[in-house]
């Protein structure tokens, strides 16, 4: 399918930005130009937004709770959300509109987690933060007006990678029971030979191979063995929570996301997996200039709602 016209117009705007030299790029420099959310109008309205500090072992993390209109009372389902950004960039602010939209679509409260970023906090620090944030959410759900028996994890790109890793850890550590995992164009491996990299990795579609190599280098640091980063290699995917996996046609990460979905399904995990035609990496968070992304947010929200109804 051809590139979506709404996406094409957005890419034309991105093309006017200065090029990035990944041989000299530093994380602070990239954050300086990427951690201010683009203004595309008023974000979706929700009933309540609350900034929090999560008191975790040896550290505190910022978080933000979104409660939509019509959320179940007195205890709403809770989605713990991990933002994208290659484990290096991204903030609560960059994904504010995304979390609002997901809260509205799912009818659940959404807890967005400001985990520590690489390279200052390389693997496995972001995974540890995200898992500990889930444990905190389960323990404090009642105080948040949420139901600890109705928990899910979600994330986009690197955040999708972290959500999948947290689901694996929750299973392996007998941690909080999860009703669903929502993985939006997740990173699952550092295999740059996949066809989707050959087709879409030149950088013209927002995310390119050079950028992904740089992100992986920042995240892994000196870690030689990183199974919770390269989740595609997880030997056993059985007994994980039902999953929604959404990828984009013009995304270098498309094939690894769909391959992970196929492995989940092969392990007996209920999976709804689909590639959004005409879309690029990041489209889920671009719904204001790309309203054709909205049905995909609705699909994700509907699957989360189904999870609350599951036995």
> Residue 211 and residue 150: Cα distance in Å, rounded?
36
- The verdict on whether 251 is a catalytic residue reads yes
Asked if omega into 124 is within 30° of 0 (cis), the reply is: yes
281 is annotated as an active-site residue: yes
List for the chain the helix, strand, coil content (%; round to 5): 40, 20, 40
Strands 243-250, 180-184: pairing is parallel
**Selected catalytic residue, list 96, 251, 255, 272:** 251
Among the listed residues 83, 95, 180, 281, the single catalytic one is: 281
107 secondary structure, DSSP code: S
Residues 276 and 253 sit within 8 Å (Cβ to Cβ): no
Q: Which of 83, 129, 132, 157 is catalytic?
A: 157
89-100 exposure pattern, b = at least 16 Cβ within 10 A, e = fewer:
bbbbebbbbbbb
| Two tokens, residue 24 | 């000299």
Helix boundaries (H) for the chain: 5-15, 27-34, 96-106, 125-140, 158-172, 195-200, 209-220, 254-266, 294-309
Instruction: Name the nearest CA neighbour of 108 among 54, 144, 55, 162.
Output: 144
Token couple for 62:
């910022």
Is the preceding omega at residue 256 within 30 degrees of 0, hence cis? no
Active site residues: 157, 251, 281
């Amino acid at each position: 399918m051809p590139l979506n016209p709404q996406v094409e117009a957005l890419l034309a705007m991105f093309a006017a930005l200065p090029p990035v030299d990944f041989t000299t790029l530093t994380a602070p420099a990239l954050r300086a130009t990427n951690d201010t959310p683009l203004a595309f109008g008023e974000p979706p309205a929700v009933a309540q937004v609350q900034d929090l500090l999560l008191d975790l072992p040896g550290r505190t993390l910022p978080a933000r709770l979104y409660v939509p209109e019509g959320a179940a009372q007195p205890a709403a389902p809770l989605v713990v959300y991990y933002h994208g950004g290659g484990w290096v960039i991204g903030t609560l602010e960059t994904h504010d509109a995304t979390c609002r939209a997901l809260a509205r679509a799912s009818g659940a409260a959404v807890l967005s987690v400001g985990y520590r970023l690489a390279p200052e906090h390389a693997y496995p620090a972001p995974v540890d933060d995200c898992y500990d944030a889930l444990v905190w959410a389960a323990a404090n759900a009642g105080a948040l007006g949420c139901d600890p028996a109705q928990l899910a994890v979600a994330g986009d790109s690197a955040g999708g990678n972290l959500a999948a890793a947290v689901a694996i850890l929750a299973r392996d550590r007998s941690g909080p029971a999860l009703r669903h995992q929502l993985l939006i164009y997740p990173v699952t491996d550092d295999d740059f030979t996949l066809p989707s990299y050959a087709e879409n990795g030149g950088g013209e579609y927002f995310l390119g191979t050079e950028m992904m190599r740089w992100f992986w280098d920042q995240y892994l640091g000196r870690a030689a063995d990183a199974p919770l980063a390269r989740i595609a290699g997880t030997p056993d995917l059985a007994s994980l929570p039902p999953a929604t996996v959404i990828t984009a046609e013009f995304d270098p990460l498309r094939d690894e996301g769909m391959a992970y979905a196929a492995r989940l399904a092969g392990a007996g995990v209920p999976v709804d997996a689909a590639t959004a035609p005409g879309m690029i990496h990041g489209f889920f968070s671009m719904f204001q200039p790309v309203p054709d992304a909205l049905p995909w947010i609705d699909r994700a929200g509907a699957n989360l709602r189904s999870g609350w109804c599951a036995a």
